[in-house]
Structure 1
Amino acid sequence: MPLRIRRTVAPLVLASSLLALAATGCSSETADGAGAQTSPSPSAEVTTEPSPEPSTEPSTEPTEDSSGACATGDLNFTVSEQSQAGGYYLVTATAKPGVTCTLAGRTIEAGFGSDVAGDVMPSEQAEGEPITMTGSIKAYAGVNPHSGPQEGGVQFEEIIVSAGEGDMDPVSLKLPSTAEVDQPIGTNWHTDATKAVPYSS
């Protein structure tokens, strides 16, 4: 009986083809995967600056002090002539811009010339209330250049005024008229001009 030879070529060829296709598919997938891969984009960094801390530095702005005594340089002075009480000079003081100070309610520090005899003496018995000088506040003091009983005197055209006793920077004010000076007297500083009339005792 003749021998039958089994043909195994087709299966072998088929198996080889399948293996080739599998290998090709893996290579294609690997290549496609590599091409499709994209590097992740870096995330955007968000920075927040810290909120400023409240300042603890002490303030350097100047502050006004109403307790300080007025110096002559803190004030502006004017003088006018009045007819009441036999005639006297009314001195008006105001604070310079930005100034706040205290003017004692005592007799005006004033005089005529350099002689002690020309110094203004008190016409009031007691000291008044201190005056806070600031803004539009005005202080008034009256000066009678001649309170003596006798006639005559020394003539002056200016009066010397300072804000307080011991002030070494007085100002000279031109008088509205020539003053005949003999035993001059003056009032305390007042905020009411009607109270600044120097009556002789």
Structure 2
Amino acid sequence: MPLRSRRRVAPLVLAAAAIALASSACSSETADDAGVQSSPSPSVETETPTPEPTPAPTEESSGACATGDLSFTVTEESQAGGYYLVTATAKPGVTCTLAGRTIEAGFGSNVSGDVMPSEQAEGEPITMTGSTKAYAGVNPHSGPQDGGVQFEEIIVSAGEGDMDPVSLKLPSTAEVDQPIGTNWHTDATKAVPYSS
């Protein structure tokens, strides 16, 4: 190629390179501007969990029944030679456990008037609440001999060691000699104190 032609090409090459550089700079600025103008990514909002509603309190057992937790009544029955049937119910709002042991009862303050077991084994505990009833039978006279001491009341407590017993008026005067009693049962027919 002649020298004259080379001189003409060189300015054209330089001009093309300058245009290319200018274009590159513009596109770089546009990209930077686009980065600046782009809205930041939205922040993630964490929702505060709604607290679970607190369940309503349920009536729970307060443990072993105390005498004050229960109401007692006594009736006279003719089966097995005659005995007294003691019925226990929980007072309103009370839930407690009555041991399936021999009724804690006695006539007077003398040890000889304490009711002894007529059953060999302890029964199932009874949850006393609402309309649940527990029954225990007491035979005031299981001794072989005639006679005894007469009483008009029986003293009952919910368990051994309870220092707040109640005194129940008997339907008739009891002649007491070696009294025996059953465990507490939910079935009155099982609360018949048979002498051994």
TM-score, with structure 2 as normaliser: 0.72
The answer on 1:98 being equivalent to 2:107 is no
The answer on 1:79 being equivalent to 2:69 is no
Q: For residue 72 of structure 2, give the secondary structure of its aligned residue in structure 1.
A: strand
Aligned mates of 1:58, 1:192 — CA distance in 2? 38
Q: CA deviation at 1:120?
A: 0.1
Instruction: Pick one of 155, 170, 183 that aligns with 1:188.
Output: 183
What residue in structure 2 maps to residue 132 of structure 1? 127
What residue in structure 2 maps to residue 172 of structure 1? 167
User: Structure 2 unaligned runs (5+)?
Assistant: 1-48
Q: CA deviation at 1:64?
A: 2.7
Structure 2 counterpart of 1:156, one-letter code: F
Q: CA deviation at 1:131?
A: 0.3
Instruction: Pick one of 155, 160, 167 that aligns with 1:160.
Output: 155
Write the deviation string for residues 20-72 of structure 1: whole angstroms up to 9, x where unpaired: xxxxxxxxxxxxxxxxxxxxxxxxxxxxxxxxx9679988x865322600000
Aligned mates of 2:68, 2:50 — CA distance in 1? 39
The root-mean-square deviation of aligned C-alpha atoms, in Å, is 2.0
Q: For residue 85 of structure 1, give the secondary structure of its aligned residue in structure 2.
A: helix
Structure 2 counterpart of 1:188, one-letter code: N
TM-score, with structure 1 as normaliser: 0.70
Instruction: Pick one of 114, 122, 143 that aligns with 1:119.
Output: 114
Write the deviation string for residues 141-182 of structure 1: whole angstroms up to 9, x where unpaired: 000000000000000000000000000000000000000000
Aligned mates of 2:139, 2:86 — CA distance in 1? 11
Q: CA deviation at 1:198?
A: 0.1
User: Structure 1 unaligned runs (5+)?
Assistant: 1-52
Structure 2 counterpart of 1:121, one-letter code: M
Aligned mates of 2:50, 2:105 — CA distance in 1? 52
Structure 2 counterpart of 1:101, one-letter code: C
Aligned mates of 1:185, 1:165 — CA distance in 2? 16
Structure 2 counterpart of 1:179, one-letter code: A
Aligned mates of 2:149, 2:50 — CA distance in 1? 68
Percent of aligned positions with the same letter in both sequences?
89
Structure 2 counterpart of 1:178, one-letter code: T
Aligned mates of 2:130, 2:124 — CA distance in 1? 19
Aligned mates of 1:54, 1:173 — CA distance in 2? 56
The answer on 1:142 being equivalent to 2:142 is no
